[in-house]
Amino acid sequence: MSEETTLREQMCSLARSLFDRGLTGGSTGNISARLSDGSLLVSPTGTSFGRLDPARLSHFDAGGRLIGGDQPTKEMPLHTAFYDTRACGAVVHLHCCHAVALSTLPEVDEDNFLPPITPYAVMQLGRVKLLPYFRPGDPAMGQAVRGLAGKRSAVMLANHGPVVAGRDIEAACNAIEELEATARLALLTRALHPRLLTGAQIGDVVTTFDVEWDT
């Protein structure tokens, strides 16, 4: 099986898993991954993560020209902003419930969206930047990501959903699942004054696991 065929199947399998577990619903969310030749596979516009067809994924050449498949998601500016500013192999954007709910709360730290409840979000995501609300498909979302100059692997679009870049498609999916799980923990413990990781504990995780921890 060729690299491209394998990646097409993997993208659709992981997307279906995210959909089946309620991490994005209907025709929401989009996913992309880069092949070794620099070309890009992207979920088409208006498609459901539960029913992606490997043969119909949008295919862009290394120069950004659509060379096959259906028309791509309208959130392409988000995806290309990450690929252009970071050395990543995949980007995933979901509309997951708990992360969106957390993004609407006034006390959330815009520069460090997720509270340090467990070490795993620190390990997989670093600091998550909360970006303001943008209309879906607005190219300004991509401009906002570019404005971070490649310093964040994950952002949260307020009232919309998270976007995560990873070294490959599996890493990106794992990381965005961790983001949603941490957001859920944050909401569950919000009124209970939880004991969070200390600065020293976070520093130990960052050092031990060589985490990209933008300050």
Q: Which of 4, 120, 177, 212 is catalytic?
A: 120
Helix (H) / strand (E) element for 68: namely: strand 66-68
Closest CA to 88 of 182, 10, 170, 205: 170
**Complete domains list, the chain, with CATH:** 3-208 (3.40.225.10)
Backbone angles phi, psi at 88, to 5 degrees: -125, 160
Alpha carbons 57 and 67: distance in angstroms, whole number: 11
How many other CB atoms sit within 10 Å of the CB of residue 199?
9
Mean of per-residue pLDDT scores for the chain: 96
Backbone angles phi, psi at 91, to 5 degrees: -140, 135
Q: Is 120 a catalytic residue?
A: yes
* Token couple for 93: 């954007």
What percent of the chain has pLDDT above 90? Answer: 97
| pLDDT (0 to 100) of residue 213 | 87
Q: How far is CA 153 from the centre of its chain?
A: 8
**Each residue of 24-61: pLDDT tens digit?**
999 999 999 999 999 999 999 999 999 999 999 999 99
Residue 205 has pLDDT above 90, yes or no: yes
Q: Which of 75, 177, 178, 180 is catalytic?
A: 75
Alpha carbons 187 and 81: distance in angstroms, whole number: 30
Alpha carbons 93 and 11: distance in angstroms, whole number: 13
Q: How confident is the model at residue 215 (pLDDT cuts 50, 70, 90)?
A: low
pTM above 0.85, yes or no: yes
Backbone angles phi, psi at 48, to 5 degrees: -95, 140
- Per DSSP, what are the bridge partners of residue 165? 91
Q: Is 75 a catalytic residue?
A: yes
Alpha carbons 17 and 125: distance in angstroms, whole number: 20
3-state secondary structure of 142: helix
**Each residue of 106-117: pLDDT tens digit?**
999 999 999 999
Residue 214 has pLDDT above 90, yes or no: no
Length of the chain equals: 215
